[in-house]
A = this chain, B = another copy of it.
Amino acid sequence: MQTQATLIALLHGPDAPGIVARTSGWIFENGGNILHADQHCDAEAGIFVQRIEWSPAAADLEAESARFSAFAAQLGMQVKIAPSTARPKVAVLVSKQGHAFHDLMQRWRAGEMPCSVAFVASNHTTWAEETAQYYHAPFHHIPVSSETKPAAEAALLDLLREHQIELIVLARYMQVLSADFLNRVNIPVINIHHSFLPAFAGAKPYHQAYSRGVKLIGATAHYATPVLDDGPIIHQAVTPISHRHHVDDLVRRGQDLEKLVLAQAVRWHLQNRVLAFHNKTVVFD
């Protein structure tokens, strides 16, 4: 439908009167037309957050982006800005379980995910052939054992830098990334955890849920941080279960949640709709 590229800016910084007037004023004065503008003020934290999308008069999107960023910086705002046509480079990490991986790749193939999958990496070779033949994406096998973990993470880091990756998606990657890696990687990492966090953090959440006798199971997509399963939550969903469901059933039902929640979180991130601060997120849906 959309024939012309727009610009999408995500701003945040200390709240002050007049920011909405100033950003919208700047766009108007520069001949742009605002398509969407959504803002939020976290009164406790004193932080202003805005997502604004406009069709600029200027043909040179890069120059307009630079000028807007400079202007916003004067307002004390940090800015992330991208044209609607941007396709960030993504690395997908997967282990043996393929449901979330295939769902994501099918969506990508069908044009649902505005990104470029630069490569797939795995500690197993389970999906090597399909990645190459069916999704036509490079596949890197990076085996991990407790001894080789530092070396494996270093190799992964090299790959990420070489490909100038902007987002890592953990599509049920069953290795805990070290705090050191997460501190150094310096790009967002989206993980899908198979429970309604903070309930059932850690290993085997479906078994934990079954033991506790909960009546709903969930899935949580969050940015990975050095503290396991504790990063800012992007999206969550649940589905009802009953005593008739065994752990196997929880796993199968949960997999559908995992797919939907991860895909939604990644799509929102790619559309510049998610801003994380103070270990929480604002999602401009």
Is there a chain B Cβ closer than 8 Å to A123's Cβ?
A: no
Residues in chain B near residue A133, CB distance under 8 A: 133
- Residues of chain B contacted by A59 (CB below 8 angstroms): none
> In the complex, what residues of B have CB within 8 A of residue A235's CB?
215
A248 interface neighbour in B1, B197, B281, B283, Cβ under 8 Å: B1
Per-residue interface assignment for chain A, residues 210 to 232, with 1 indicating a CB less than 8 Å from any chain B CB and 0 otherwise: 00111110100000000000001
Among B40, B110, B200, B279, the residue within 8 A (CB) of A99 is B110
Q: Is the Cβ of B35 less than 8 Å from the Cβ of A37?
A: no
**In whole Å, how far is A103's beta carbon from the nearest beta carbon of chain B?**
8
Nearest B-chain residue to A41, judged by Cβ: B35
Identical copies of this chain, number: 4
Please report the C-alpha to C-alpha distance between residue A42 and residue B39 in the assembled complex, in whole angstroms: 19
Nearest CB to that of A221 among chain B residues?
B215
Taking CB atoms, residues of chain B closer than 8 Å to A1 are 246, 248
Establish whether residues B213 and A280, one from each chain, have CB atoms under 8 Å apart when the complex forms: yes
B contact residues around A184 at 8 Å (CB): none
CB–CB A283/B28 < 8 A: no
Minimal beta-carbon separation of A284 from chain B (angstroms): 9
Q: Is the CB of A20 within 8 A of B37?
A: yes
Residue among A17, A32, A38 with the highest chain B CB neighbour number at 10 A: A17
Q: Is the CB of A37 within 8 A of B37?
A: yes
B242→A214 contact, CB < 8 A: no
Tell me the chain A residues, 63-115 only, with Cβ under 8 Å from chain B.
98-99, 102-103, 106, 110, 112
Residues of B within 8 A of A260 (CB): 256
> Contact flags (1/0) for A120-145 with B, using CB distance below 8 Å?
00000000001001100000000000
Task: Please name all residues of chain B whose beta carbon is closer than 8 Å to the beta carbon of A232 when the two chains form the complex.
Answer: 213
A236 CA / B196 CA spacing, docked (Å): 13
A17 CB contacts on chain B under 8 angstroms: 28, 32-34
B34 with A20: CB separation less than 8 A:
yes
Residue pair A25, B33 in contact (C-beta under 8 Å): no
Closest 7 A-B residue pairs measured CB to CB? A213-B280, A21-B28, A21-B24, A199-B199, A18-B28, A20-B24, A243-B282
